[in-house]
Amino acid sequence: MSPQYRRIAAAAATTVLILLPGLAFAVEARFDLSSPASSPFPSDRFTVDDHDQKTGLRVSLPKPDCAVRVSDCADIDVINTLDGFNLQPRLSIPFSGPIDVSTVSHRTVFLVRLGQGHGHHGDPVGINQIVWDPATNTLHAESDEFLDQHTRYLLVVTDGVRDTDGRRVKGEAFEDFLGDGKHKHHHGGGLGDYRGDLREALDKVEIHGHRTVAASVFTTLSATAVLEKIRREIKHSQPKPATVLGTFPLINLNPRSIQWRREVRKFPNPKDPTDPLFVFSTFPVAALGIIPGVGSVAFGSFESPDWELMPEGFIPPIGTRTEVPAVQRTNTLYFNLVIPAGMTPPGGWPVAIFGHGFTDSKQGAPSAVASTFASHGIATIAINVVGHGGGDAGTLIITPNVGTPLTIPDGGRGIDQDGNGTVDSTEGVNALPPRGIIGNRDGLRQTVADLMQLVRVIETGGIPGLSRQRIFYAGQSFGGIYGVKLLALEDSIRAGVPNVPGGPIIEIARLSPSFRVLVGIALASRVPALLNALPFAPPAWGFNENVPLRTDPPTVTINTVPGAMAIQEVLDNTEWVSQSGNPVAYAPHLRKRPLHETDPPPVIIQFAKGDQTVPNPTASAIFRAGDLTDRSSYFRNDLVRLAFPTAPANPHTFLTNIGVPAGAGLAIAAQQQIAAFFASDGTLVIDPDGPGPFFEVPIDGPLPEALNF
């Protein structure tokens, strides 16, 4: 070939590349299945067969260098016990170069429900909370809807996504894998089966106008399986009757008649001998007289099976299809019971179980609602949540106006879990390291089991004077959170009202000014630590996760925050592990898709605009997942503050603010809504302030996705 001819050929080749820019260095959707970070994730490629699971598989993520990433390895040990992926997963799609993020939408990146096993597919599910990470050329997004449990999904990425030069992204590695092509690193192991799953899924799904350049098939975990098994065990049991320790007419008690001696230390503080082992406070007898109707207060106990390993704080994992949880021990749980005045009606008093909030106890919020319930002829009963109420050596000292004083156990369920001598207000509800990623998931599940046991004791006649049929549930904050789960499982309850619930817990914690510090402490405690926005002080508490709020339509956040991606991964993994304790995972089963052999009761869900403890986006997640917007009762604290400037800025405790002058009337009004709902067996829903502006029943307008504070 002559030099002149070579120059002409080179010029021609250059001209072709200029005229056909798509032939030069087109960005490709990466598809290297050797790592979760180098292909679309989640993916059943990173699972193993396990026929003891409802899904037929178990997660099997590879581990990093465990000498360096100690905490990540501990988390993966827990994740690898699960039978599937997150129910609202963080989707990750790596590319070989930059993309035009404006071309990312629900039309170009989406999910398709394939069904359980190899069932029929459903409508596409879009994406939201989208983040583009330029440092790794990876697109992250959350599914726009909460996904069905133990169900297969197809994640689809199309060539509707363009690169920054406007060219369609390519999918050569993906196409090569589907065609069993030349790249040998795609072959061997279980990849042949996974290739077949992808082909089958893509054959079932019609994608109009675009080519698929990358995809994954993944299976969601079974969230409700363990508690369903526990429910069956409880329902088939015949529990012992409760023991009533004492009953006291309200008229024979004064505001200081009941003293609570709460255990806060297990042994003396060697550094400060004056540090007390117990602290004293007064049981709120006065609250029982806010509205006339309370006749007496009783205290008692019952036995409840405990499925948690303690002090580790977790329920051992089981095969979700074939295995049954093992009872670790039997606990004696203590209850407070407020009984209405008057003659016991035929069949006994209707009774509302009231679930208290985080850091509270049965000595707190239940007493704030009991007089309103009693005025409607409804008794109120409460127990302590796992890890709450102080240590087990605490007591209630009851000194009536007339009669002999009585000292009884206070039912504290806190433990000195970390061995430092103190019993903190929630100590024992969370799992210990190395399973710290479990958080309070299993403490919440055990609490639900305890409440199902309490229902069983009542419905078998184990508490004299209470109706076996007319059992209700209301709970505030934490009590609303575990209440959603209880109501999805326990159909012996006639009606329920979760108040200010939200989920998942990790989202509540990171968004709440009250709890964000706990996330900061957890990130600081990891090895290596993940704090990226020092100092460790409010409002950021040392970290910037750079996670956008949900928007409609979705927008894309360009990540420029070093360290944010590692934090996002930890947050997603924590949410993933927590799903069996997440109220959002149970919300679909309140009405839309009841669990097997369950007829869930009618509900009202009360929440408040601008809640700073359980932020609005986490409450909206429950409504969206369960299609429950029409069951909402929305407290407009913004309008309350305009009318009453001294009203609390944080409306989280609006239901129990009976001691707040600017909030007491509205608290009683919200309680009246619950009581009327229960008295009607869940058929009557009143607006607490009638034509007034402070409650919307149901919410007037879209669900709040902003923080509103």
Once rounded to an integer, what is the mean pLDDT over residues 127-153? 98
| Confidence tier at 115 by pLDDT (50, 70, 90) | confident
Read off the pLDDT of residues 387-442 as tens digits, 9 standing for 90 and up: 999 999 999 999 999 999 999 999 999 999 999 999 999 999 999 999 999 999 99
Pairing of the two strands 152-158 and 109-115? antiparallel
pLDDT for 24: 56
Judged against a pLDDT cut of 80, whether residue 19 lies above it is answered with no
Q: How many residues does the chain have?
A: 709
Pairing of the two strands 212-219 and 243-249? unpaired
Q: pTM of the entire structure? A: 0.95
CA–CA gap between residue 262 and residue 247 (Å, rounded): 21
pLDDT for 208: 80
How crowded is residue 62: how many other Cβ atoms within 10 Å of its Cβ?
10
| Confidence tier at 18 by pLDDT (50, 70, 90) | very low
pLDDT for 25: 73
Once rounded to an integer, what is the mean pLDDT over residues 323-336? 97
Whole-angstrom CA distances from 560 to 54, 96, 129, 536, 545 are 41, 19, 16, 20, 11
Percent of the chain exceeding pLDDT 70 equals 94
Judged against a pLDDT cut of 60, whether residue 118 lies above it is answered with no
Indicate the average pLDDT of the chain. 95
Judged against a pLDDT cut of 70, whether residue 189 lies above it is answered with no
Read off the pLDDT of residues 663-696 as tens digits, 9 standing for 90 and up: 999 999 999 999 999 999 999 999 999 999 999 9
pLDDT for 181: 55
Q: Three-state SS for 530?
A: coil
CA–CA gap between residue 30 and residue 134 (Å, rounded): 15
CA–CA gap between residue 661 and residue 648 (Å, rounded): 10
Judged against a pLDDT cut of 60, whether residue 95 lies above it is answered with yes
Read off the pLDDT of residues 482-520 as tens digits, 9 standing for 90 and up: 999 999 999 999 999 999 999 999 999 999 999 999 999
In the chain, CATH 2.60.40.1220 sits at: 26-219
CA–CA gap between residue 311 and residue 416 (Å, rounded): 8
Pick the CATH number of 26-219 from 3.30.70.1060, 2.60.120.10, 2.60.40.1220, 1.20.120.520: 2.60.40.1220
Angle between helices 564-578 and 70-79 (to 10 degrees): 30
Percent of the chain exceeding pLDDT 90 equals 93
Using only C-alpha atoms, the chain has a radius of gyration, in whole angstroms, of: 28
pLDDT for 206: 84
- Of 4-8, 216-220, 264-268, 641-645, minimum mean pLDDT range: 4-8
Read off the pLDDT of residues 267-302 as tens digits, 9 standing for 90 and up: 999 999 899 999 999 999 999 999 999 999 999 999
Once rounded to an integer, what is the mean pLDDT over residues 371-382? 98
| Confidence tier at 122 by pLDDT (50, 70, 90) | confident
